[in-house]
Amino acid sequence: MIERDASLRGMNSFGVPARAAGLARLHDLDALPALLDDPGWRDRPLLVLGGGSNVLFTGDFDGLVLRIEAERIAHSRWDGDDAMVRVEAGRDWHDFVRWTLDAGHPGLENLSLIPGTVGAAPIQNIGAYGVEVESCIEAVEAWDRRARAFVALDRAACGFAYRDSVFKREPGRWIVTAVRFRFPPAWTPVLRYPGVREELAAQGVAAPTPQAVSEAICAIRRRKLPDPARLGNAGSFFKNPIVPAAQAQALADTHPGLPAWPAGDGRRKLSAAWLIEQAGLKGLREGDAGVSPQHALVLVNHGGATGAQVLDLARRVQAAVVARFQVTLEPEPLIL
């Protein structure tokens, strides 16, 4: 059943007002082809919406919003000592991370508490605290709208890159329906990201388990990032910019303390949060749109902001960073 003129305010973590011409909730993946062939909607724009935590609506959507709410999870098979797990796209991401830890399959603990759904994770190639989701992905199942068929893309075919994938580079073609993960038995904690070891030490953890790492990550995120349930936001609004090493060195010479990390191919990744804060924008507020005082990388809705007002603020942030550092920040969320 398709709901007409549906409110999307409660379906986006910014909490901005928006409406969709139609809204469909899909619990049975086998019903997807018939839904897409509905004569009343097949020629209208389509938006697949997960948890709404990586999207900014700047107005209404004159098409069909599809929410995949299928969320079954199971071991699909065991390959030697590796655990293979298939999970449907509608599963809450953090809930799935907790499931993997309870089942004894570590590897995703650094991605704890990231909002959204499993289906959205490979599209953005979500990453945090030194880990990207591609490291545990075996394959992604999707409906290919061009071929009109269910397909499975192995990791190489997914074309993963920093906050990127083939699913993101070909918008409108793919609808992710499930993700297959591989978890090897050997596990080494990833603790190189600043603050993780310190948090573990503060919790009195000398020999971290996967669960302890997850708890440390959750504590850091809760301390640094505002809760979308209380203050509308989409987490990190900008990607950390990647620039040529020579440009990064020139910036470091001029601005001591600039955080930078190797990004391969003679490039360096800079901290977008540091750039924004050094531009004097942390805590900035324009009406109900603002830059979080907790974390400069997070744009927030203090209650009554529209998506257009949040976007105006984002553009002001971009302009200020360009003016001071000659670095262009790229938004992470999908802006509609």
Please identify which residue in the block is written with the tokens 């929410």: 67
Number of residues written out for the chain = 336
Q: Give the separation between CA 122 and CA 132, rounded to whole angstroms.
A: 9
Beta partners for 232? 301
Residue 336 gets which letter from DSSP? -
> Are the C-beta atoms of 53 and 298 separated by less than 8 Å?
no
Q: Give the separation between CA 210 and CA 95, rounded to whole angstroms.
A: 15
> Are the C-beta atoms of 287 and 305 separated by less than 8 Å?
yes
Of 207, 191, 206, 216, nearest to 129 (Cα)?
Answer: 191
Q: Per-residue DSSP letters for 269-312?
A: EE-HHHHHHHTT-TT-EETTEEE-SS-TTEEEE-SS--HHHHHH
Contacts 24+ apart (CB under 8 A), 149-156: 150/177, 152/180
* Cα of 1 vs its chain's centroid, Å: 29
Contacts 24+ apart (CB under 8 A), 101-106: 101/210, 101/211, 101/214, 105/181, 105/183, 106/183, 106/187, 106/210
Largest CA-CA distance found in the chain, in angstroms, rounded: 61
CA distance readout (Å), 167 to 63, 144, 174, 237, 303 = 20, 10, 6, 20, 32
Helix, strand or coil, per DSSP, at residue 46: strand
Residues with a known catalytic role: 163, 236, 332
Beta partners for 301? 232, 289
